[in-house]
């Protein structure tokens, strides 16, 4: 049932530009407010375009998104690892064993994530017929991470991130 409040809200959305509507929908989705997002989307104009095959362009965009997302996570883990390593060195220099132990755990966790990330990218690329080197180039990560020691991949991280990357690659 549509109320007068819904009509006032729709009129408000009608006055927004397409760019403003997209930003508003994004904000709603990040707050998990799908009903408001749906109302805004309903006010977006429909247009007909002549374009490349949708399957082709969607797949190309998804592959770019997958490689970019993987790269962002890779560099996030590299940053975490380097920060933890700096703390390990600081703890050693100041003879702070508690800090050193915590920092080393963080270092090992980041390494296990980096090992998992490399294995995940290799698997996802193979499963989807994607050139692994091209994906690494897109992510600005030309080489496989070489860990210090032999940290095992983090199984929880592997499961979660593999699921996300699989969806992005489709």
pLDDT (tens digit per residue) in 49-100: 888 888 899 999 999 999 999 999 999 999 999 999 999 999 999 999 999 9
Cα within 13 Å of Cα(111), Cβ side:
15
Pick from 75, 56, 70, 31: nearest CA to 165: 70
Cα 120 to Cα 46: distance, rounded to the nearest angstrom:
38
Cα within 13 Å of Cα(156), Cβ side:
1
pLDDT score at 54: 87
| DSSP 8-class letter at 148 | S
pLDDT score at 7: 55
CB 63 within 8 A of CB 131: no
pTM: 0.70
pLDDT score at 94: 94
Average pLDDT over residues 13-35: 89
- Return the CA Rg of the chain: 22
């Amino acid at each position: 049932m549509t109320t007068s409040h819904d009509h006032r809200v729709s009129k408000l959305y009608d006055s927004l530009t397409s760019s403003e509507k997209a930003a508003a929908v994004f904000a709603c989705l990040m707050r998990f407010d799908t009903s408001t997002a749906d109302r805004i989307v309903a006010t977006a104009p429909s247009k007909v375009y002549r374009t490349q095959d949708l399957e082709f362009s969607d797949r190309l965009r998804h592959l770019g998104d997958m490689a970019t997302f993987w790269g962002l996570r890779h560099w996030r883990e590299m940053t975490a690892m380097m920060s933890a390593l700096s703390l390990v060195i600081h703890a050693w220099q100041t003879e702070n064993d508690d800090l050193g132990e915590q920092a080393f755990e963080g270092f090992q966790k980041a390494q296990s994530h980096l090992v998992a990330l490399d294995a995940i990218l290799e698997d996802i690329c193979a499963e989807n017929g994607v050139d692994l080197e091209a994906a690494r180039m897109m992510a600005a990560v030309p080489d496989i991470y070489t860990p210090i020691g032999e940290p095992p991949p983090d199984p929880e991280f592997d499961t979660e991130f593999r699921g996300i990357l699989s969806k992005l690659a489709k």
